[in-house]
Structure 1
Amino acid sequence: MNAIAAPLVVPRRTTVVVTCILAALAGLMFGLDIGVISGATPFIQKEFGISDRMVEWIVSSMMLGAAIGALGAGWLSATLGRKRSLILGGVLFVLGSLLCSLAWSPDSLIAARVVLGLAIGVATFTAPLYLAEVAPEKTRGAMISLYQLMITSGILVAFLSDTALSYSGNWRWMLGIIAIPGVLFLLGLFLLPCSPRWLMMRGRRDEAVEVLRRLRGDDDHVAREVADIEEQLKNPQRGWHMFFQNANFRRSVGLGVLLQVVQQFTGMNVVMYYAPRIFQGMGYDTEAQMWFTAVVGLVNVLATFIAFGLVDRLGRKPILYAGFATMALGLGVVGTMMHLGIATHGEQLFTVAMLLVFIAGFAMSAGPLIWTLCSEVQPLKGRDFGIAVSTFTNWVANMIVGATFLSLLNGIGDARTFWLYAGLNGVFLVFTFWLVPETRGVTLEQIERNLMAGKRLRRIGR
């Protein structure tokens, strides 16, 4: 423990660079874990001779572990510290990846993916928190944006890795190879300092000041930041108390929960987890399924830049309107093509193109913006609680989607399944109009004042 508590003395510029690498690897691991199972499931199903229902359990077991990990991550990060929590997450990630590659039965694979999920649940809560507390002010936004971008990049890398390994059908390598970035993530963590905010929360002010001196290099800046942290700590988190005592806070928590349910029921992760199966339904062979899955990952990455470029120019709601409409159109056309029958190569390509339109619609809107809104609508004293509840809801909804898609395909058919998700995206347009506030250019303090004054949720951003 002492070795962890006393980090290596690293020059300031090196610390900032390694922090950037941490942001990249934390997001990359998250994305890798989402994407890697997609290409592996056809080969797992063939080797073990399992049903679609068991495949759903294998896919969704990771989300179960992530929900549990996210639920305990707040306590871990407060008790052990941000850095030690991330180290624990990194160890679990490497262990879970290796156990997946060595799985001897479907049940053992499910257990291994639960371990992997625990790691992801801890990391997805703690990594952005640590980065926000350690990164210099001038690069803080870039760090968080890099984290989000690397999630989509991790999905792409996983899809490309699966495609390369699909020729041999070696699903064990597909699942095990992501242990490599996990090890790099762990090595990077040992070079980093503890969070100065956490140190001050534990009464270790002198250590916090020393860490900030190494990170900032300017005594005046350090003094101002220490004073800011001390002022913030005078207002401790009171999430549980507020939730039971304040109806307006319950409204903001409820909105955060609904936003995460909406994000998952757009159907995006259905494509992420089952892309080869979807392309199989369009009539493509195994090789084409894998390459088109990689294209899905590429479009997901590229379209994410649209959100980065427009969110502070156009606002949250216009982009969400455009995204949900695009997703409803894309999935509606995909369902219609599957209903009519995909007979020619041109019809196949058109159907793929419309699925990619859906992917772009999500990546430019609900993907990044839901997380932004979830943090913006929570009042300061309940922000940790509100975001924790939102994160937990995200993983539970994610698990439900992953555990039901193949059953829907087998039960109501491909076309009706895609029409169902298209219809949900149409409903989400109405949800955005009635409940989602426009928060562009509005301070968090003003949003909180409007919320606590009892204004309607869609008006708290005014």
Structure 2
Amino acid sequence: MSPTVVIPAPSSRPGQKAFRAGLITACAGLLVGLDTGLIAEALGFIGTDFHASTRDQEWIVSVLMLGASVGSLGAGTFSARFGRRLVLTAAMVLMFLGAGLCANAMGIAQILVGRLLIGIAIGVCTFTAPLYISETMSGHQRGSMVSTFSMLQSAGILAGYLLGGLLSSGGHWRWMVSMPMLPTALLFAGCFFLPASPSWLIARGEDTKARTVLRALRDTPAEADEEFTCIKNEAAKGRISGLKLLRQQPGFRRSVMLGICLQVMQQLTGINVVMYYTPKILQNAHFGTSGAAWATVLIGVINTIVGIAAIFMVNRWGRRSLLCTSAAIMACSLAVAAGITGLHLSGGIATLCLLGALLSFVGGFGLGAGPLVWTLCSEIQPLEGRDFGVGCSTLANWWADWIVSNTFLSIVSIIGFGQTFAGFALMNVIFIVFTLTFVPETKDVPLETIEANLLSGKKLRNIGE
């Protein structure tokens, strides 16, 4: 054990340094969203230039999820070995290379390779960024900052829609897919200013560095020392692999399964169907190409506004109530969309009602299911198995996303938009039941308390007490 050392408190306000670190990390969400918005606008032009079939277009969208599943699967091992900062930095390099390949593509195969690299980078980011934030933020900041990560995804989607809308008149899809390169380079530089995760440092036996980092991030030395002691006590219980902990600890098996189910349910809400295929949905409802592009921008605006509101609501309302409210709004919205498209209603009023239903759906997702699933998945895992547990849930998210995105157009061609939307509406009703039955309230609860309750055998819905 490292000797106790006296470390002077930093002269600058510690809370500001923690906020800056969290904000830089949360900006990874901006890149995730930017790609989503840009590919939604670029997909039609790519299909036209390369004569892509429906299946080709599904693969152009969904190959990213396969890459993301690979990235999230390896992120746990690499972030545990090399640290959260270095892994985030490497992800920026992959994203830059992938965007460059897509921008200079000579065929569909090159686009698929580029989007696979982007997907790997995104998988790493969606695993590492919420994990890093949860380990560096204090309890009262944690929910808001992870929600900021989600909100910036929404802002990125809006930026992608806007840029795509501006470039769509000329069909400049190569400019669209090259847009992530600049923010990627900026975030690459920002990664060098991040402090190391205190939990990761303690796990490596670097106690002095961990205490220094905590003193720099927390409001008072006493708060930093108390948190250091808690993390140290957890780490002192012995470090074992995630798989071994999974076999030995029933509580960990339950938290891993809860994280997986939360991420699968998030994708079964239908959010990425709307985000990736909104232009096609609206064109089917007799919007023109330009009208569909700018209506898609409006969806991005709502997604961003609600994402900002969620940052302030998450620590007031709590996790469970926001999740239930979110799923209820989405279920009702998709039921309306199912009725309009299933009955083949036409005319200006029906078209505006469909757009309103999509806007309401996206707003409902951004209110709770978007930010809170990522927050909960990083909160419910014990320290020893946190990398493994978050990795499993992130991997589940991308696999579910791939299945939904890779089959949506094909399913619609068989059963139509109406029944497809009705199926997603039912999934949101199931999400409400699942939340009430299993999801704990973790607002303002220290991670160490959640872990102690979990491993003591409390029911999942009670581990935040």
Q: TM-score, normalised by structure 1?
A: 0.88
Most deviating of 443-452 and 74-83: 443-452
User: In 1, Cα distance between the equivalents of 2:368 and 2:18?
Assistant: 30
Q: How does 1:89-128 map to 2 (within 5 A)?
A: 89-128=91-130
State yes or no: 1:38 paired with 2:18. no
The amino acid that maps onto 2:290 is E
Q: Secondary structure at the match of 1:378?
A: coil
Aligned in 2, Cα 1:261/1:132: closer, same or farther, shift over 3 Å?
A: closer
Q: Secondary structure at the match of 1:437?
A: coil
User: In 1, Cα distance between the equivalents of 2:138 and 2:379?
Assistant: 21
Most deviating of 53-62 and 77-86: 77-86
The amino acid that maps onto 1:341 is H
Gaps of 5+ in 1: 1-9
Residue 404 (structure 1) aligns with: 407
The amino acid that maps onto 2:186 is L
Gaps of 5+ in 2: 1-9
State yes or no: 1:293 paired with 2:284. no
Aligned in 2, Cα 1:15/1:455: closer, same or farther, shift over 3 Å?
A: closer
Aligned in 2, Cα 1:361/1:145: closer, same or farther, shift over 3 Å?
A: closer
User: In 2, Cα distance between the equivalents of 1:342 and 1:96?
Assistant: 42
| Post-superposition CA distance 1:119-161 (Å, at most 9, x none) | 1111222223334445578865554333222111111111111
Provide the aligned length of Structure 1 versus Structure 2. 453
Contact 1:306-1:364 at 8 Å conserved across structures: yes
User: In 2, Cα distance between the equivalents of 1:356 and 1:23?
Assistant: 28
Most deviating of 380-389 and 397-406: 380-389
State yes or no: 1:376 paired with 2:367. no
Aligned in 2, Cα 1:354/1:218: closer, same or farther, shift over 3 Å?
A: closer
Q: Secondary structure at the match of 2:385?
A: helix
User: In 2, Cα distance between the equivalents of 1:97 and 1:26?
Assistant: 15
Contact 1:375-1:387 at 8 Å conserved across structures: yes
State yes or no: 1:316 paired with 2:319. yes
| Post-superposition CA distance 1:422-441 (Å, at most 9, x none) | 12222223323333334446
State yes or no: 1:50 paired with 2:58. no
Q: How does 1:390-429 map to 2 (within 5 A)?
A: 390-429=393-432
Most deviating of 379-388 and 341-350: 379-388
Q: RMSD in angstroms over aligned alpha carbons?
A: 2.8
Q: TM-score, normalised by structure 2?
A: 0.88
Contact 2:26-2:149 at 8 Å conserved across structures: yes
| Post-superposition CA distance 1:55-88 (Å, at most 9, x none) | 1111011111111111111111122222221111
- Deviation, structure 1 residue 170: 1.0
Contact 2:310-2:367 at 8 Å conserved across structures: yes
Contact 1:237-1:384 at 8 Å conserved across structures: no
- Deviation, structure 1 residue 231: 3.4
| Post-superposition CA distance 1:227-273 (Å, at most 9, x none) | 55543431355432221123332222112111111100000110111
Contact 2:157-2:300 at 8 Å conserved across structures: yes
Tell me which of 311, 332, 354 is aligned to 1:329: 332
The amino acid that maps onto 1:27 is G
- Deviation, structure 1 residue 39: 0.6
- Deviation, structure 1 residue 362: 1.2
Aligned in 2, Cα 1:119/1:385: closer, same or farther, shift over 3 Å?
A: same
Aligned in 2, Cα 1:187/1:313: closer, same or farther, shift over 3 Å?
A: closer
Most deviating of 441-450 and 388-397: 441-450
Most deviating of 49-58 and 134-143: 134-143
State yes or no: 1:347 paired with 2:314. no
Residue 235 (structure 2) aligns with: 233
Aligned in 2, Cα 1:149/1:408: closer, same or farther, shift over 3 Å?
A: same
